[in-house]
Structure 1
Amino acid sequence: MDDDLRERLHHAAASHLPDRERMLARIERSMAEEPPVRLPLRAPKPWLRVVGATAAVCGVLAVGAVAVTSAGQGEQGAGRPGQQVAGEPVSPAPEARSTERGGALPAENGPLWSDGSVDAHSNRYWAQSNVTLRTAQPLTALAVELRVALNGGVNTTGSWRSLPVEDFVASAQEEDGFLVYRWTLKPGRNVRAGTYTFAGQYNHAEGVRNAARDDYTARARAAGGQASVGGGFTDGR
C-alpha cells in the first residue's frame, strides 16, 4: 500500500470516531419517548390460592379465640374469686359470722335496737322467726344471723328481708345442731335509718315448738363506728 492511500484511509477513519456525548443524549431521548414495558400479570397458581385462604381462615379463628379468652377473663375480673353459681347457697365471709351468740349481746347498742320473736302466724307444723332491727343512723355494713335449733324435724322453707333483695347475700344451712340463716350487706351498698325485718321460715314436728335455744345477732358499721346486738326469741302466737 502506498503512502498516499494509507494517508487517506487514516483521515477517513479519524472522521468516523463516535461522539460519546451525542450517543448518550440520543439514548436518553429514546428512553423518555418510549412507554415503559410492562410484563403481563399472571394469575396465582391454584395452590397459592389455597394457602392464602387457609391463612385467612386461621387468622379469623385466632382473632375469635383471643376475643373469647378476653371476654372470659373480663368476665372473671371483674376479679371476683370464689364466685357462686346462681341458685347455690352463698355464705358470707368469715368475718361477717358471729363469734358471740345472741344471749351474750345487748338488744340495744349505739344506733341499733333489736328484737327477736316467733311470728304470730306460725302454726303447729310451720313457723317463722323474725329479727326486727332498727337503726338511727345509715349503715355501711351489716350482717344478721338467725339460729333455729334443730329440735323436732326443723327444715327450712325460705327466708326474706324487708330491704332490697339485691343488696344482700343470703344463705341457709345447718351448722352444729342449728338451722342458720345469714344476710350480709354487699360491699358498696347502704342501709338507711329505719326499722327492718329479717325472717327465717321452717317446718317442724307437729305441736308447739320450743324456741328457747334460738337466738340472733346483728353486727353493723355506722358513721360512729361498729355496733353489735343480739338476743333470744319470744313467742308471739
Structure 2
Amino acid sequence: MKDEELSVRLREAAEAHRPDRERMLARVERGMAEGRRPARVVRPPRAAAPWLRIAGATAAVCGVLAFGAVAVTSAGGDDGPRGERVAAPPASSPAATAPAGLGALRTEDGPLWTDGAVDPHSNAYWAQSNVTLRTTRPLSALTVELRIALTGGVNSTGSWRSLPEKDFTVSATEDGGYLVYRWALKAGRTVPAGTHTFAGQYNHAEGERDAGGDYLTAHAVRVSGERASVGDYFGPDH
C-alpha cells in the first residue's frame, strides 16, 4: 500500500470517529470521587480539667476574702460637717423603706453632726456601712444605732468603732426587718470632742446592694446636760 493511500485512509478513519462523551464524563466524575478526601471533623475544645476549675474557684473566693480583710482595716473618711442638713427618707427603694413615723432625720443638732455612707471598699459579696459622728462638746451619754435592711443574704460579719472598745456596750441583732448594730456608752465614760467612726460589716447576696433602706440614729447628752439627736439615710441622694 502506498504511503499516499495510507494517509487518505487514516484521515477518513479519524473523521469518522465520534468520541463517547457520556462515557468520558462518567470516567472523569468517578476519578474525582475516588480522589476526594473526607472533610476534617472539627472537635469542640475540651472542657478545663476539674482541678483547673477548682483552682480557679478557690482563687476567686480568696480574692473576695482578701478584699474584705482590707476593708476591715479601713476607717470611714472624715469629710467634716457640711452644714445643717435634713436627710429625707427615700421616696421608693427596692431594699426597704423607713419605718412609719420616722420621717426626715436631722444630720445636725447643736454640737452634734453625723453622716452615713457605704464604705468604698465594699464589694459584690460584702459591705461595710460607716457612721461618722462629730461633736464639738464632750458627751456624757451616747447611743448610736445603725440599721441595715435585711435584703438578700444580709448577715453580720462584725463591727468596730474608733473610740475605745472598753467604753461601749456593743450588740448586733435582727429587729423589724433590719440588722441592727448598737453602740451604747457605758455609765461614767465620756466621749471627747472630735470626729469619731462607727462601722457595721455584713455579707449580702452577690451583686450591687441597694442601701436605700438603711439608716442611722445617734442620741447624745452633753456633759453640761443638753440633749441632741441626729440621723441620716444611706440612699444615693442622702
TM-score range, shorter chain: 0.5 to 0.7
8 Å CA contact retained: 1:139, 1:192: yes
Instruction: Tell me the SS of whatever aligns to 2:166.
Output: helix
Instruction: Tell me the SS of whatever aligns to 1:210.
Output: coil
Tell me the residue number matched to 1:218. 218
Tell me the residue number matched to 2:175. 175
8 Å CA contact retained: 1:102, 1:231: no
Mapped partners of 1:195, 1:172: distance in 2: 23
Mapped partners of 2:155, 2:162: distance in 1: 22
Mapped partners of 1:110, 1:153: distance in 2: 38
8 Å CA contact retained: 1:101, 1:217: no
Tell me the residue number matched to 1:16. none
8 Å CA contact retained: 2:214, 2:235: no
Return the letter of the residue paired with 2:234: F
Deviation at 1:100, TM superposition (A): 9.2
Tell me the residue number matched to 1:138. 138
Mapped partners of 1:152, 1:214: distance in 2: 14
Query: How do 1:51-200 residues align onto structure 2 when only pairs under 5 Å count?
Result: 104-200=104-200
Tell me the residue number matched to 2:230. 229
Tell me the residue number matched to 1:58. none
8 Å CA contact retained: 1:163, 1:196: yes
Instruction: Tell me the SS of whatever aligns to 2:106.
Output: coil
8 Å CA contact retained: 1:156, 1:179: yes
1:133–1:199: structure 2 CA closer, same or farther, 3 Å change rule? same
Deviation at 1:104, TM superposition (A): 3.2
TM-score of the pair, normalised by structure 1: 0.56
Deviation at 1:105, TM superposition (A): 2.4
Return the letter of the residue paired with 2:111: P
Mapped partners of 2:171, 2:205: distance in 1: 23
Deviation string, structure 1 residues 183-232 (Cα, Å, up to 9, x no partner): 00000000000000000000000000000000000000012500000010
Deviation string, structure 1 residues 70-108 (Cα, Å, up to 9, x no partner): xxxxxxxxxxxxxxxxxxxxxxxxxxxxx9987532000
8 Å CA contact retained: 1:101, 1:216: no
Give unmatched runs, 5+ long, in structure 2. 1-98
8 Å CA contact retained: 2:125, 2:205: yes
Same amino acid, percent of matched pairs: 66
Instruction: Tell me the SS of whatever aligns to 1:211.
Output: coil
8 Å CA contact retained: 1:102, 1:230: no
Between the two proteins, the alignment pairs up a number of residues equal to 138
Instruction: Tell me the SS of whatever aligns to 1:218.
Output: strand
8 Å CA contact retained: 1:102, 1:217: no
Mapped partners of 2:148, 2:117: distance in 1: 12
TM-score of the pair, normalised by structure 2: 0.55
Instruction: Tell me the SS of whatever aligns to 1:166.
Output: helix
Mapped partners of 1:102, 1:122: distance in 2: 27
Return the letter of the residue paired with 2:214: D
Deviation string, structure 1 residues 115-163 (Cα, Å, up to 9, x no partner): 0000010000000000100000000000000000000110000000000
- Tell me how large the CA RMSD over aligned residues is: 2.0
More helix by share: 1
Which has the greater radius of gyration? Answer: 1
Tell me the residue number matched to 2:88. none
Return the letter of the residue paired with 1:171: S
Mapped partners of 1:129, 1:103: distance in 2: 21
8 Å CA contact retained: 1:154, 1:204: yes
1:160–1:152: structure 2 CA closer, same or farther, 3 Å change rule? same
